[in-house]
Amino acid sequence: MTEPVLEGGAIGSSAPRIAARRLAHGRGRYTDDIVLPRMLHAAFVRSPHAHARIVRVDGAEAARRPGVFRVVTGADLADICRPMLAIAAHRPGHKSAPQPAMAQDVAYWQGQPVAALVAESRAAAEDAAELVEVEYEPLDPVADPAEALAPGSPAIHPSLGDNLAFAHRIEVGDVDAAFDSAATVVEHDFDFGRHTAVTLEPRVTIADYRPADGTLVVHQSHQSPYQMQEVYAALLGIDDHRVRVICPDVGGGFGLKINVHDDEIATAAIARLLGRPVKFCADRLEAFGADAHSRDHTVRGRIAVSEGGEILAMEVDDLSAIGAYTAFIRFGIAEGMMTITNAGAPYCVPAYRGAMRAAYVNKPIVGMYRGVGVPIACAVTEQLCDLAAHAIGMDPVAFRRINYLDPDTLPGASVGGIQLPRIEFSRALDRLVETMGYDALRAEQAALRERGIHRGIGVATFIEPTAYGPGYYGPSEAPVSTQEGTTVKLEPSGRIRCITSVTDQGQGTLTAIAQIVADQLGLGIDEIDVIAGDSAVTPFGGGAWASRGLAMGGEASLEAALALKENVLAIAGPMLQADPASLDLKRGTVVDRDGGTPRLSLGEVARIGHFRQDTLPADLQPELAVTRHHVPNRAHYYVAYGVLGCHLELDPETGSIELLGVWVADECGRIVNPLLVDEQLRGGVVQGLGAAFFEECVYDGSGQLLNGTLADYLVPMATDIPDIATAHIDGLEKTTRLGAKGVGEGGTIGATAAAWLAVNDALAPFGKTVSAQPFTPERILAAIEGR
């Protein structure tokens, strides 16, 4: 092949290209010039309005700028990219409007893409984007969910008739009678601020459509390559076997990168439109309006208790603002559903009413984020328990002890319908109380209050449904895989290549999978190479979501490693004229099972199995690559649980809060790598504390984001967080061989609740509580002053 030659082209009309000459297949002569396209960069023009009609998009001046290849509008993509329509088939009454990759006639939130500038460099694209003239006709925005559902409120999408995306109700027992007969009834309002993930690395997509064979290759910072393979294939009308999605190990996902974002779909569509590789990277500023958001709930809760403190009934009414559309594939209504189904889960609640409503508003779409509604359920439940305990003069820990579900009644369903295995919540509570020195902290708290020092203690019980199975996504008809798969193969060198559907965004899952495989095959971890994140290479699977990596991918890897071991020994047996059952693998060597005498290196078995099959029995098929998949045996999930404690000091003069200590006692099944487990817990705790004390996307009444920079949107810093002590309760997932459960979200679920309890405990001498997170100094002072 000759060296590539750079050829010129008129900017805006034809691209600069690299031309090369090569031998034609089977002809013995050179073909004409083959064009090897260079990558282009996309920058998006985004709506400055929360709600506006798009009258005109004029990109003429921008198209004339040096380096600009094309200005692309939503209309340009309409013929090659289907709109996203998110309707959960198993939720009757759920409705959503079709969502285009870029706004076409109307913009529905501040930050929605309206046009794309495609240029030779990111800088050229961004500079030209500023020259695109868009004429808008502002429309009245609806930014508040209560306003959105009020009678007479204009529908954001007129075709839907109103702004109610979905409503659901659960009722167990005679709720009204229980409240009427209760000795004490406590009710409270809760406001959970909207926030976003702020991952270490932003979202990046590189899409390369190859017209010659109609294939699309996408490199993407995403958690699920197979999900996105299905999405791109469906929306762009490409057969799925011609779509390849590669998701390397990236810095942080937190659920944000399991969502389907419109600008990523638009990037792939632009690549197909132009027949050129196109790259898009969301910068920090645009990410605040372009990334999926989370939370944004208002909840009213009630609890009824007897004179002795037993819970008689609970009621949770949740209203959430899910943005302008339902999140594609992952369904933003899930947060509200998870809130009302997980509320009250650790406790014996004879009567329960849960109701959720999800409203469309002119804000960014709410998608998946660490915990997905369970942190809200936990915070509401635990705060109601503390308020009830305070009202009857009972210690909050003692209140929980008498109300936990009796383990002898499990397995069974919680009052909201969560399927629970046998759980002894009191074991985790006992461990936490001991670890944090609860009684000593209470005594110290009382003494310090005499001196005007206000400290608070919060103890929150949580469940963490992990590794969601086919019973969750299957009935929704969403193309989401709830299995994980691993191929383990022996290379001729005697080393192992492990190819898994699980992806890694910093959790360390691939390290733990390597440990499992190495342990079963008697090798060191450095002799295991793990490959992940490529839909053209790995077995089919879900990737990383709902704390599934080791619980499911680890199980598949264990089963594959065991099967490969059996195959290796089946080859070694004839080579040694021994019964394969009498052999084992240790330290890269085939040994006698009894006594451990070394007999044969694993490398020699690999050499014979790969290259000298003629020396083996004729009826022996040497299979040195094995694939296994795992789907949860329980239809829904594997349930981890724990108790989290928080200790803090509140300054009533300034409203400032100092965190003094955080403790977690957690049961997450078999622990393969203790360091990774502890750091997953700690990382989850930090995100939960971020929601409690720092993070909030603040919008005004017209749907304008007021704090869309990291100077204004606060995230927890290392100096804000005290030491986080972890302790573990022995337990196993009994339906799998590995016995692991998930651990990635438990810290987040429990931390916000425990922090809320501790803040209100510190405010108890003032007879006040806070009802909205994050707990900023302004909100603390407003609570104290009764504002």
Dump strand ranges (E) for 221-257: 243-246
> Which residues have C-beta within 8 Å of that of residue 319, sequence separation ≥ 6?
145, 146, 149, 297, 298, 299, 356, 357, 359
Mean pLDDT of 308-329: 97
SS3 state of residue 498? strand
> Residue 497, SS3?
strand
Q: For a pLDDT cut of 90, what percent of the chain falls above it?
A: 91
Q: Exposed (0-12), middle (13-18) or buried (19+): which is 525, by Cβ within 10 Å?
A: middle
Q: What is the mean pLDDT of the chain?
A: 94
Closest-CA residue to 540 (of 502, 497, 488, 498) = 502
Binning pLDDT at 50, 70 and 90, where does residue 633 land? low
Euclidean distance between CA atoms 245 and 739, whole angstroms: 31
Q: Encoding tokens for residue 231?
A: 């999405």
262, 256, 270, 195: which is closest to 221 by C-alpha?
A: 256
* Phi, then psi, of 661 in degrees rounded to 5: -175, 150
Is the CB of residue 775 less than 8 Å from the CB of residue 755?
yes
Mean pLDDT score, 571-596: 96
Interior CA angle at 335 toward 100 and 468, to 5°? 95
Question: What residue has token string 């609970």?
Answer: 314
Please choose, from the candidates 114, 112, 17, the residue with its C-alpha nearest in 3D space to the C-alpha of residue 69.
Answer: 17
The pLDDT of residue 473 is 84
Structure tokens at 412: 């069974």
| Gap between the Cα atoms of 763 and 363, Å rounded | 33
Per-residue confidence (pLDDT) for residue 32, from 0 to 100 = 41
Could you tell me if residue 214 is left (phi over 0), alpha (psi between -120 and 50 degrees) or otherwise beta?
left
Mean per-residue pLDDT for 567-584? 97
Decide if 535 contacts 475 (C-beta within 8 A).
no
Residue 29: pLDDT band with limits 50, 70, 90: very low
| pLDDT given for residue 634 in this prediction | 59
Q: Closest Cα partner for 533 from 320, 250, 255?
A: 250
Where is 268: in which H helix or E strand? helix 262-274
Convert the pLDDT of each residue in 249-294 to its tens digit: 888 999 999 999 999 999 999 999 999 999 999 999 999 999 999 9
pLDDT tens sequence across 341-357: 999 999 999 999 999 99
* Res 243: pLDDT: 98
Lowest mean pLDDT among 76-80, 134-138, 469-473, 688-692: 469-473
pLDDT band at 787 (very low <50, low <70, confident <90, very high): confident
First to last CA, the chain: 77
- List, for residues 47-66, the tens digit of each pLDDT value: 999 999 999 999 999 999 99
pLDDT of the residue at 33: 44
Q: What is the pLDDT of residue 476?
A: 86
Count CB-CB contacts under 10 A for residue 244: 19
Crossing angle for the helix pair 746-763 and 674-693, to the nearest 10 degrees: 40
**If you ran DSSP here, which 8-state letter would residue 449 be given?**
H
E strand or H helix that includes residue 585: strand 583-586
Locate all alpha helices (DSSP H) within 322-373, ordered by sequence.
334-342
Q: What integer pLDDT is reported at residue 19 of this predicted model?
A: 36
What is d(CA 322, CA 294) in angstroms, rounded to the nearest whole number?
Answer: 8
Residues 6+ apart with CB under 8 A from 749: 371, 374, 375, 378, 462, 463, 464, 684, 688
Nearest Cα residue to 196 out of 151, 261, 248: 261
Percent of the chain with pLDDT over 70: 95
Q: Is it the case that residue 331 has pLDDT exceeding 80?
A: yes
**Structure tokens of 733?**
């997932």
- Report the alpha-carbon distance of residue 513 to residue 249 in Å, rounded: 15
Mean pLDDT of 65-84: 97
Residue 239 pLDDT > 50: yes
pLDDT of residue 37: 76
pLDDT tens-place string over residues 484-533: 999 999 999 999 999 999 999 999 999 999 999 999 999 999 999 999 99
* Cβ–Cβ under 8 Å, residues 297 and 339: yes
Segment 29-35 mean pLDDT: 40
pLDDT reported for residue 14: 36
Q: Are 214 and 238 a contacting pair, CB within 8 Å?
A: yes
Confidence of residue 70 (pLDDT cuts 50, 70, 90): very high
Stretch 75-81: mean pLDDT: 96
- In DSSP terms, 497 is beta-bridged to 489, 529
- What's the confidence (pLDDT) of residue 249? 87
- Checking if the pLDDT of 2 tops 60, the result is no
